Structure 1
Amino acid sequence: MARSGRISPDGTAGQTAARLIANVVVPFRVLLWRPEVDEDVEDISVAGLMKARRTTAVLTEGVVPMSGTLYETDFYAWANEQAALLRAGKLSLADIENIAEEIESMGRTEQRELESRLTVLLLHLLKWRFQPTHRGGSWEATIRVQRRDLARHIDRNPSLKPKIPDATSYAYENARIEASAETGFAEAIFPAECPWSFDQIMDGAFWPDQP
């Protein structure tokens, strides 16, 4: 079972996910891409992974992996053990099932970040529209930053684009609930469905001025 809870409170992926990419996912992809590498081949500039793989083959010789136990009790140690096994080409000793689940979990984390950032952005757009007397630099900065970060996130994960309509709908429902709690207005005050297109939501020149 994939471990959960690796997304930080502001909606960004945590350091553990980044470490997993560097230590497990990337070498795993390299291993599948080219299982045999000639010793004379130069460093292929994937952070020296292939060189590290040859070196680690010696370091892991005779080592019995403790994957099943480590995955549940010490994720950091598990990730490093799996990286060493994959770089050494010891695919048969790697914890393939849990590696696969972690990769899938990371994909779900990217979608959760999309939904989380959309929620924050839509919440502030609702407050901007329905509480004009409370508008200020803080709200404006949050809207601008979330638009920038969302654009960057989608640019880095283009396969998320087909999920934008569903993510926007889900995020708006959450934003509506939070807007009611933060403003003290009844939920019925806010539109039942998102009143703006995704293009409007992301448009730096768009500021909903009319209640």
Structure 2
Amino acid sequence: MTVILDLKTLYEIDDSLWLEETIELLKAKNFEALDLENLLEELEDLGNEKRFRVASFLQQIIRHCLLLQFWISERDYNQAHWQAEIVSFKDQLKRYLTTNLRKYLEQEFEQIYFESVRYVRQKTDNQVNFPDTCPYSLEELLDPNWLPSDNQGDKK
């Protein structure tokens, strides 16, 4: 194991090597030599990245569900694609979802929906009337076998 004396400097120069050195120090239980400031920052970033990833997948699921259910004029042409996208994003979300990340999605559900509906309104040139609140539960959106019904429609 090569120990770089100044891990803070190494972090600024080569964060990949810094990570390797930090892992070696942790394995050796050499906690005094750790660059705690940057280690904490990296751990916080890792947590943020995981939250962003699951929120992004959920946002994609909601977007495609809304398009599938409400954009009737495009449904015939895009239905199979939108359904396939929903399945794909659900599968990807399932890979990353933990109990804590699910709680995060529950807490951020309204904001995630707001961002999703803002996107689909723009995509449809504001020609489709989408609900102001999410018409789907989180459980439905996570259910691998669930798809939205097509009993709603275009008109604004």
- How far is the alpha carbon of 1:101 from its aligned partner? 2.2
Q: Root-mean-square deviation (CA), in Å? A: 2.0
1:90 and 2:90 matched: no
- On the 8 A contact 1:115/1:170 being kept in 2, the answer is no
Cα distance, 1:186 vs. partner?
Answer: 5.3
> Which one of 4, 12, 35 corresponds to residue 72 of structure 1?
12
Unaligned runs of 5+ in 2: none
Residues in 2 aligned to 1:88 and 1:74: alpha-carbon distance in whole angstroms: 21
Which AA in structure 2 matches 1:114? Answer: V
How is 1:5-154 mapped onto 2 (pairs within 5 angstroms)? 56=1, 60=2, 63-134=3-74, 135-154=78-97
Counterpart of 2:126? Answer: 185
Give me the identity figure in percent. Answer: 26
Distance in 2 (CA, whole Å) between partners of 1:125 and 1:209 is 10
Q: TM-score, normalised by structure 2?
A: 0.83
What do residues 126-184 of structure 1 show as CA deviations (whole Å, max 9, x unaligned)? 11112134233221111011122222322xx2222322222321211111111011111
Letter of the 2:134 partner, please give it.
C
Decide whether the 8 Å contact of 1:65 with 1:81 is kept in 2: no
Q: Distance in 2 between matches of 1:103 and 1:175?
A: 28
> TM-score under structure 1 normalisation?
0.63
- Long gaps (5+) in structure 1: 1-55
For this pair of structures, how many residues does the alignment match? 148
C-alpha distance after superposition, 1:30-69 (max 9, x if no partner): xxxxxxxxxxxxxxxxxxxxxxxxxx3xxx3xx4423112
For CA contacts below 8 A with separation 6 or more, give which structure has more relative contact order.
2
Q: Secondary structure at the match of 1:206?
A: coil
